[in-house]
Amino acid sequence: MIFTLIAWLLGGLGIFLLGMDFSSKGLRHLAGHKMKSILTALTSNRLMALIFGIIATAVLQSSSASTVMLVGFVEATAMTLTQAIGVTLGAKIGTTLTVQIISFNLSEYALILVALGYILKIWEKNPAFHSSGNIILGFGLIFFGMGMMSQAMTPLRNIEWVKDILINLGHNPIAAIIIATLFTGVIQSSAATIGLAIALCSNNLITIEAALPLAWGAHIGTSATALLASIGTGRGGKQVALSHLIVSVTGVLLALPFLGFFIDAAKWLTSMQGGTSTARELANGHMIFTIATSLTLLWFVKPVEWLTKKILPISELVKKFAPKYLNSASLSIPDLAIDLAAREITRLFDIVNSMFTVSISMLEAPEYSSMSLMDEEDDKVDILEKSIRPYLASIPYDNLTPQLNALVHAYIYIVQDLENIGDIITKEIAHASKKLDKRDLEFSKQGLDEIREYHLKLVEKFQAVKDAVKNLDVNGAIKIIEDTEADRLFERTLRWNHIERLHNGLKASVETSAWHLSVLGNLRSISEKLDDISMIIVDEVKS
């Protein structure tokens, strides 16, 4: 009997969590670019941050998922700690929607929802139907799992020692909070912990006096996910996780002396709604507690930020060069992950563009110090290239629309082309510069002037390509491609000019001919790489 009970309980919990995963994925996919706007267009206004947190968690169906992303955003300096704390408070309120839904006893309709959801899910020709199917299937599994957990707990009503333990929880709220905190920390889902409490309520195994402290413990325990996500991040990410814990614990400590008030308020609201079940009382009590504590703490965002930074101050040491915007927590929201990758690609563009802009100085006056600096910049290019491409490849393809899928491929190709340009600058142009310096040679004045002119044209082209990629500007990319033949003709003209100087026996041209032609070829290769990037934008980006 005990084995069967445990099997049904764990099986029901597993199905519940699976349903949460399905519904969360469906909502994320359906929200698409809206989620990106919600989570990246934050202002310093703490009330707006709170509202965004509510919306984000309602879409993600998980406050943990919201706060995990905040860890990445603050670490990437895409958001301040003040904004992150405001969103965290909103995320707490957002979870009450899920609890309200699961508090209704809809297990008898669960299999109908599962069947309907699966039918819509396999209708893959229409992405909206597929995502809606995931949502409905997910909620069907949530209710089915709730029904299994409730059935598993039915025999417990006849076991005296179990009843005594559960009754004692009502007299010892601190113990209930600690138990729920630890349990939520293990399974990393406050909704699942509260779902178990609702199942206990449905079988009259616990009263609201025991159930509400369990929900408060889940409120604290969900901080474990953010703490785990902050492992391996810098101080910025760890500060978000710590602030989440501080907010959660402070909210419970503030509410604990008023437990009786929250219980009475939950019973009153439930009776006003025409209900009498303890499960509904728990959902309402959890909602009242969360809204009250979040709105109260909203006025103390700055003190929370101060305390967090006091415990975990930002190190003044120079950070090792690394990606700024990429974080694995955002991979579950493709639109957002791609946007963060695009920011990193813009950063990569800036580094390569800067390398190319100053590369002319190596040809004008070769210096080993400037060449060494160029090598350091190329190392940065390699670090970003080796980070961005795997990150893009890690975005779940089953969550991508055809347009986003094409954009992922485009960005991977663009990153590769930028890395190749960096190699041309450091391995080819710098090599020619070193050879000239070693032999104490200089280009002819006419030849160097022509190289400068060609280089300047490509500096302008580089900026135009960067703008086209950053803004996904197909028309801008088409304009660049239309100038391709003119660019090639210009390079050929410079070659003929050099050959003519050779025929005329110009000493400087004769002595530097090999490297002069090599540099022209390198500049042509860079121009062609920029054309390739423009063509990728035209081919892959759908207007």
User: What is the reported pLDDT for 388?
Assistant: 94
Q: Which amino acid belongs to residue 275? A: G
Backbone Cα Rg of the chain:
31
| Dist. CA 537–CA 188, nearest whole Å | 41
Closest listed residue to residue 20, CA positions, set 84, 67, 54, 63: 63
Closest listed residue to residue 302, CA positions, set 495, 498, 46: 46
Determine the average pLDDT of the residues in 284-306: 91
Residue holding tokens 């032999």? 439
| Dist. CA 497–CA 442, nearest whole Å | 17
| Dist. CA 85–CA 223, nearest whole Å | 13
Q: Which amino acid belongs to residue 376? A: E
Closest listed residue to residue 519, CA positions, set 381, 418, 427: 427
In the predicted model, is pLDDT for residue 97 greater than 90?
Answer: no
User: What is the reported pLDDT for 442?
Assistant: 80
For residues 188, 190, 191, 193, the Cα torsion angle rounded to the nearest 10 degrees is 90
Query: What residue ranges do the domains of the chain occupy?
Result: 2-311, 328-540
User: What is the reported pLDDT for 86?
Assistant: 84
Residue holding tokens 């349903």? 19
376: exposed, middle or buried (Cβ count in 10 Å: 0-12, 13-18, 19+): exposed
Determine the average pLDDT of the residues in 449-456: 92
* Number of residues that this document lists for the chain: 543
User: What is the reported pLDDT for 427?
Assistant: 85
Determine the average pLDDT of the residues in 401-430: 90
Q: How far is CA 451 from CA 443, 447, 490, 494, in A?
A: 10, 6, 11, 8
| Dist. CA 77–CA 443, nearest whole Å | 45
Fill in the DSSP letter of residue 316.
-
pLDDT tens sequence across 218-266: 889 888 877 876 766 667 778 888 998 999 999 999 999 999 999 999 9
As given in the structure block, the two tokens for residue 381 are: 């290019």
Contact 336, 36 (CB under 8 A): yes
Mean pLDDT (the chain) is: 81
Determine the average pLDDT of the residues in 107-112: 77
| Dist. CA 308–CA 523, nearest whole Å | 51
As given in the structure block, the two tokens for residue 524 are: 């042509």
pLDDT tens sequence across 465-475: 999 999 999 99
Residue 64: CB atoms within 10 A of its CB come to 26
Q: Which CATH architecture has domain 328-540?
A: Up-down Bundle (1.20)
- Quick one: angle between helices 278-297 and 190-202, nearest 10? 150
pLDDT tens sequence across 373-413: 788 888 999 999 999 999 999 888 766 778 888 899 999 99
pLDDT tens sequence across 12-68: 777 777 776 676 666 666 555 555 555 555 545 667 777 766 766 665 555 656 666
- Is 471 in a helix, a strand, or coil? coil
- Work out whether the CA dihedral 474, 476, 478, 481 comes out positive or negative: negative
The string of DSSP codes covering 135-204 is HHHHHHHHHHHHHHHHHHHGGGGG-HHHHHHHHHHHH-HHHHHHHHHHHHHHH--HHHHHHHHHHHHHTT
User: What is the reported pLDDT for 317?
Assistant: 43
Q: Which residue has the higher pLDDT, 389 or 149?
A: 389
